[in-house]
Structure 1
Amino acid sequence: MGYARVSTDDQTTASQLGALKQAGVLKIYQETASGGRWDRPELHRMLDFLREGDTVVVWKIDRLSRSLADLVRIMKLIDQRGAALKSLTEPIGTTTAVGKAMMQMVGVSAELERSNLRERTHAGLKAAREKGVRFGRPSKLNAAQQQDIVRRVGAGDLTAADAARLIRRRRPAS
């Protein structure tokens, strides 16, 4: 059985599906979810369905997990079921001790890549903030309106609930 995963809705599993079908995979589980997350319903559905003698086939090991700890956990679950793991792009599998070790080395690389991406993203966001870029939705209130609401709630002229209703009716600040 196969497993295909992409991280975002703007990506597609088409190339993974094609490679898995070409490899003779009969049942394919696919989903859109981060490889660093453990709560992936299709992954768990596949792991629950595994039987002795089955082989889990992935296009690339990082499609299974981007976390070494999760990869080791998944490999252990597959092994406990008496099944094997095979990657189509990395010529290694879990049928031998060396293959298992190599899978873990590939997992280390995937986790390192993910960590580096996270660091670059945080650095980019920090640099953008330092340049004055603002993220998120625009505020409904400008600074004067915000101060007015805080003053009125603080003075007891307006309850917090009334302030929320008032803000909800306002148009975005210009």
Structure 2
Amino acid sequence: MATFFYARVSTLEQTLDHQADQARLAGFEIDEVIADHGVSGIQHRLLDRPQGKRLFDKLRQGDHLVVRWVDRLGRNYEDVTDVIRHFIRSGVTIHTVINKMTFDGVTNDPVQQAVRDALIGFLAATAQAQAEATKFAQRAGIDAAKGDRRKYPGRKPSFDRQATINVRNLLGKGMGTSLVAKETGLSRQAVLRIRNDPDGVERALQRWGL
């Protein structure tokens, strides 16, 4: 009998060591840590992940599987429930670090089995809902960032078109940027922008209608 800790670690989540330490602090004695790195839980089933597949090969009757939460075991409701029930039928006990949930096939009482399966279904549905909400929020953030560039024209320039003409005329006469700034009442940074980034300045003027 062995206790395995499975983690799915991405660059946006906790490190593997942190997750394993949390499991140990929760009282689990881990014999082996198995982890998938940089694998999307939304896109890949557990069986399709390189290390996730190892769980199906290594877990035997009487073993214990510890995960931070049930969402580590699948990408949606169907995946999570199928995986948990598969392991339970194989005689594996599943534990979660969060809330210390335990799922096993010890009971033969149909009522208790129904309660257990209902709880598994509820948690799996919650995990999928959370994953979809996260994905939606990320997509909305990306769309908002793109949309903002179209809807919000950026920081309003401190100069208008006539000011840019005056700056370019003075620069064309060989006047230095500091003197041009003083002559036009603009900052030296604005004068440098007009001189060095004519295309960007033109786009800003057009966006603001200046």
TM over 0.5: yes
1:35–1:51 distance in 2 versus 1, CA, 3 Å: same
Tell whether the 8 Å contact from 1:6 to 1:31 is kept in structure 2 after alignment: yes
Q: Which residue of 1 aligns with 2:181?
A: none
Q: Which residue of 2 aligns with 1:79?
A: 88
Q: Which residue of 1 aligns with 2:166?
A: none
1:59–1:118 distance in 2 versus 1, CA, 3 Å: closer
- The alpha carbon displacement at 1:118 in A equals 1.5
- The secondary structure found in structure 1 opposite 2:79 is helix
User: Are 1:112 and 2:129 an aligned pair?
Assistant: yes
User: Are 1:126 and 2:129 an aligned pair?
Assistant: no
State percent identity of aligned pairs. Answer: 27
Q: Which residue of 1 aligns with 2:78?
A: 69
Which residue of 12, 22, 29 maps to 2:15?
12
1:10–1:61 distance in 2 versus 1, CA, 3 Å: closer
**Offset from partner CA, 1:75-125 (integer Å, 9 cap, x none):** 132123221211122232222523343233222111111111111222222
Q: Which residue of 1 aligns with 2:187?
A: none
More helix by share: 2
Tell whether the 8 Å contact from 1:86 to 1:92 is kept in structure 2 after alignment: yes
The structure having more radius of gyration, on CA atoms, is 2
Q: 5+ unaligned residues in a row in structure 1: which ranges?
A: 134-173
Aligned partners of 1:14, 1:101: CA distance in 2, in Å?
32
User: Are 1:42 and 2:42 an aligned pair?
Assistant: no
- The alpha carbon displacement at 1:23 in A equals 0.7
User: Are 1:89 and 2:98 an aligned pair?
Assistant: yes
**Offset from partner CA, 1:116-171 (integer Å, 9 cap, x none):** 111122222222222337xxxxxxxxxxxxxxxxxxxxxxxxxxxxxxxxxxxxxx
- The secondary structure found in structure 2 opposite 1:90 is helix
1:115–1:45 distance in 2 versus 1, CA, 3 Å: same
Aligned partners of 1:55, 1:79: CA distance in 2, in Å?
10
Q: 5+ unaligned residues in a row in structure 2: which ranges?
A: 108-112, 151-199, 201-210
Q: Which residue of 2 aligns with 1:2?
A: 5
Please, which moves more after superposition, 35-44 or 121-130? Answer: 121-130
Letter in 2 for 1:47: F
1:137-148 to structure 2, matched below 5 A, reads: none
**Offset from partner CA, 1:17-50 (integer Å, 9 cap, x none):** 1133451121221122222211211111012111
Tell whether the 8 Å contact from 1:2 to 1:58 is kept in structure 2 after alignment: yes
Aligned partners of 2:100, 2:28: CA distance in 1, in Å?
13
Aligned partners of 2:128, 2:134: CA distance in 1, in Å?
10
Letter in 1 for 2:33: I
Superposed CA RMSD in Å reads: 2.3
- The alpha carbon displacement at 1:72 in A equals 1.2
- The alpha carbon displacement at 1:10 in A equals 7.0
- The secondary structure found in structure 2 opposite 1:3 is strand
Letter in 2 for 1:29: I
Tell whether the 8 Å contact from 1:93 to 1:99 is kept in structure 2 after alignment: no
1:20–1:10 distance in 2 versus 1, CA, 3 Å: closer
Normalised by the length of structure 1, the TM-score is 0.66
- The alpha carbon displacement at 1:74 in A equals 1.0
